[in-house]
Structure 1
Amino acid sequence: MAIDAHTDLVAPTDAAVIVSALNKSFDVRPVLTDLSLELRAGEFVALLGRSGSGKSTFLRVLGALDKEVEGYIRVPRRRAVVFQEPRLMPWLPVLRNVTMGLPQTAATKTKARRALAEVGLEHKADVWPRTLSGGEAQRVALARAMVREPQLLLLDEPFGALDALTRIRMHGLLRDLYLRHSPAVLLVTHDVDEAILLADRILVLTEGRISLDLPVNIASPRQRDDRAFSALRRRLLAELGVEEG
């Protein structure tokens, strides 16, 4: 096992993440197989794959949540993870959820209020999580991630439990946060349209290996009825083994 976390990467490229010959198994079942990948600093990458393909496992490895792996991994020291569930502590008000795990100083609280303002929830700083809607709770989770000023932001199906209209609003918010703070982003998702709308580059993970790696060369704002959008969508669905009727 080799996992090295560095605040500043010294590499021949502008890579924020370097993974080489990564292998991960559960008991005797391989999940990630000889996986190699680079993510550039400030790059937004979406990772697609069928259920069980190893997407969330790979994200957990990059977040140092799963260290039982073989291979070489180099990631920034400042990382943050947002999951499908907001994972807020119900006994802490919103502001304390955002600052959880950080020094409880006046400077930290100021940064946390600024992060809440960026997601439109500064007025909710002192309320309890149970009073929040699903979309608001996930915005708090984003604020908790961004207050840590991550060089690498890891997102594991963060909008999967939200309704369609809330997802659309969250897409815009995430893109705004990304453009404002410029972390490297890895978004794990099952939603092909979501990947095309948000990412600069899309990967497909098939049986533990990267089977497709494509740039998204579509001008913003991206529209689903755009011909290039439709063509890329068909290419990705074909790689995932899905035929559109």
Structure 2
Amino acid sequence: MGLAVLRMHTARYDYGSEKALQYRRVVKAVSHLLSAAVPDLVDEYTDMLSKRFGRMLDLESVLELASEEVQDDPIANAIHALEERDIKVHADGPAILHVHGTTRNPALAALEAIAAAEEVTLATWAENNTGRWALLIWQAPDLYCIEHADTVQLWHHYRCSRRITPRTLARARDFELAERVRYPARITPIPQAVTAALALGIEMSHPLACPRSQVEDHASRIARRAAAMAPSPGRDRDHLRGNGPARR
């Protein structure tokens, strides 16, 4: 319960404040107890406290928080943190985050997702309604950024440090704070980036595509086809009468 109260006052996207550090210390101290939480006992406390603190301290929320901290999944934690900031995101793979929605700068949108999970190797990508997209690959200390606009792809390679991390770049909204690794031409694929992408399940020789969107589009096409094939009541009556199309 105490952990849930602390969580209420500590945003998931708060990574460095004293409150955030205190929360992580408490999690470390009680982590061995979380998996042993007894729902009936938790329910007794939440029944009293939820009336004052609301849904954040109801039984379901407290047990969900305990499960979240026991699993300690960096990708799932990153999604929760981004959603707290109203950033729409989902996982396209075990270590691939897709930021969706309207954004003027896909690279900065993808950087926010990298910053939320900079403890692990991952890829993030974002797109906008003009067809521009950006794919970022974080393999500490290297950050690769591939930007696509029209028919051109630009490849960038930045090297971070203990002081300059993806979170530093995201807060400043500036990639150039990191050391830029120079290459002869930015339109030439960077071999290390291609290899890192492949290790995460991304084939750079194929266009980026969201598996979830493809499934939704397929389901939508089937629904439209079924609706088009379904006979209308008027057409059914005309067929039974043998009168052909209805006339006014």
TM-score by length of 2: 0.23
Q: Which has the higher contact order (CA 8 A, sep 6+)?
A: 1
Query: Which structure is higher in helix share?
Result: 2
Between Structure 1 and Structure 2, whose CA radius of gyration is higher? 2
